[in-house]
Amino acid sequence: MKKGMKRRDFVKKVALGGASLFVLKDARAVWSYQANNKLNIAFVGAGGRGAALIDEFAKLGENIVALCDVDWNMAAGSFKKFPNAKRYFDFRKMLDDMHNQIDAVVVATADHTHAVASVAAMKLGKHVYCEKPLTYCVWEARVMREVAKQQKVATQMGNQGMGSSGTRQLIEIIRSGAIGHVREVHLWTDRPIWPQGIDRPKDTPPVPQNLDWDLWLGPAPYRPYHPAYHPFRWRGWIDFGTGALGDIGCHAFPLPFLALELGYPTWVQAISSGHNNETYPRWSIVQYEFPARGNLPPVRLTWYDGGQRPSPDLLKDLLKGETIPDNGHLFIGDKGVVFNGRLLPADRFKDYQPPAPTLPRAPQDNHYLEWVQACKTGSSTMSNFEFAGLVTEVVLLGNVALLTGEKIEFDPATMKAKGYPEAERYIRREYRKGWSL
């Protein structure tokens, strides 16, 4: 077409001064689509998670017109399934060659190249779906928000749980005051499931055939190839990934952000097993303090990873012999709690009826279809880049606190950590020569 829950179940007003989560249709976003027309979609990242996304959008009947991957070994399966799709190593060449034939772009690369690919596509007026975390650093997330707003394209971050009606109903339940005022939230994960707390390898094996290592590095500092980085294990390396917090935080944080109408935190601080400037720590606990919002009280949100989790004492009178699972969420209100989607104490809520829906539902509870529909009709998505960008900024402030060892007070207007200029290099990465947003 030309212009003319199988993953994790984690999952109004937000932004610098408060921008609406849902946006009105705009002439540039509506284009000339008809409901039964097919999108021409190009993919940046065609192996691993990219391969799964290709299959999801193909199942919806959209056209898979181009596949780009710096590692054609990883992409081989997708190439075989879609032999008519044009193949590229470099997304910049793909966009140069095919921008008149592409309606939308899906980005599923390593974290450190999310922004460069997504921004390039949006600047050409292409709708963009980008995997989580939206970006590698705080500054990139802000740029993504700004470019999406300027270009008025349909956007969505890949936090699939937000497409679930159950997640949206839980947001409505907490907003309705069912558990009263919430002042404390706990989020935890069993990640990392990849190596962290390790040193850079000393050996330099040859680059595999069909992998363009320089393109894989993209804007990151140069280092020799090693299988310790690619595939998948890049998540634990500070130069390439965002650790357990970036990986799962963008699944977990949207729920409290929407349910409690959170914005930027007053401060963020972290403790951990320690890091070595190469990889993220084996475990961490990160605290975010959010200010009062209107008649809503301040909130302390605590994140745990690497086997850490909330104290069982928080639920000792409610779980009745249950143990705290490896992944979860806990909202503590003055009238009750929400624990992994359950209202507790059970006796108090046994006859509870949820409020009438106030949030739109994804068509067929399908996160991917929600974005496709937005591309075709000019509607919005729950995880559009304005909202997802804010969440990503805040999530990644936790990594700033983690890597500096400091209590971070972030000024969203200047994008600086108050009184700590050394944090700048974690808020905004310096790109390697030849790369820019």
Provide the 8-state DSSP code for 154: -
The Cα–Cα gap between 92 and 66 comes to 12
Tell me, what's the pLDDT at 20?
Answer: 30
Give the three-class secondary structure for 189.
coil
The Cα–Cα gap between 172 and 72 comes to 44
The neighbour count for residue 395, using CB atoms within 10 Å, is 30
The Cα–Cα gap between 63 and 102 comes to 10
Output the six-digit token pair for 299: 């909130």
pTM value surpassing 0.95: no
Work out the mean pLDDT of the chain and round it to a whole number.
93
The Cα–Cα gap between 23 and 29 comes to 11
In the predicted model, is pLDDT for residue 33 greater than 70? no
* Residues 353-367 as b or e (16 or more Cβ within 10 Å = b): eeeeeebeebeeebb
Tell me, what's the pLDDT at 154?
Answer: 99
Give the three-class secondary structure for 205.
coil
* Contacts made by residues 23-27, CB under 8 angstroms, sequence distance 24+: 23/380, 23/384, 23/386, 25/377, 25/378, 25/379, 26/152, 26/378
State the Rg of the chain over Cα. Answer: 21
Q: What percent helix, strand, coil does the chain show, rounded to 5?
A: 30, 20, 50
In the predicted model, is pLDDT for residue 268 greater than 90? yes
Q: pLDDT by residue (tens digit) across 367-394?
A: 999 999 999 999 999 999 999 999 999 9
In the predicted model, is pLDDT for residue 14 greater than 90? no
Q: Closest by alpha carbon to 107, among 248, 218, 256, 224? A: 218
Contact 132, 103 (CB under 8 A): no
The Cα–Cα gap between 335 and 349 comes to 10
The Cα–Cα gap between 213 and 224 comes to 8
Q: Which domains does the chain have, with CATH numbers?
A: 13-163+363-391 (3.40.50.720), 165-195+239-360+395-411 (3.30.360.10)
The Cα–Cα gap between 259 and 296 comes to 11
* Residues 303-322 as b or e (16 or more Cβ within 10 Å = b): bbbbebbbeeebbeeeeeee
Q: pLDDT by residue (tens digit) across 202-238?
A: 999 999 999 999 999 999 999 999 999 999 999 999 9
Q: pLDDT by residue (tens digit) across 174-208?
A: 999 999 999 999 999 999 999 999 999 999 999 99
